[in-house]
């Protein structure tokens, strides 16, 4: 049960991580421009 409950949390953290990385990339591109 614990592993099943942890899986969605991992998905949420991964999605949040990807969004943060995308924001950092966009900010870096804007800074370069």
Name residues of the chain where pLDDT drops below 70.
Answer: 1-7, 10
Alpha-carbon gap, residue 26 to 1, rounded angstroms: 39
What's residue 13's pLDDT?
A: 84
Give the number of domains in the chain. 1
Alpha-carbon gap, residue 32 to 24, rounded angstroms: 12
Least Cα distance to 33 among 19, 25, 23 occurs for 25
- Domain span at residue 13? 1-33
What's residue 16's pLDDT?
A: 84
């Amino acid at each position: 049960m614990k592993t099943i409950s942890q899986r969605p949390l991992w998905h949420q953290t991964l999605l949040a991580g990807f969004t943060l990385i995308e924001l950092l990339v966009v900010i870096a591109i804007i800074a370069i421009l």
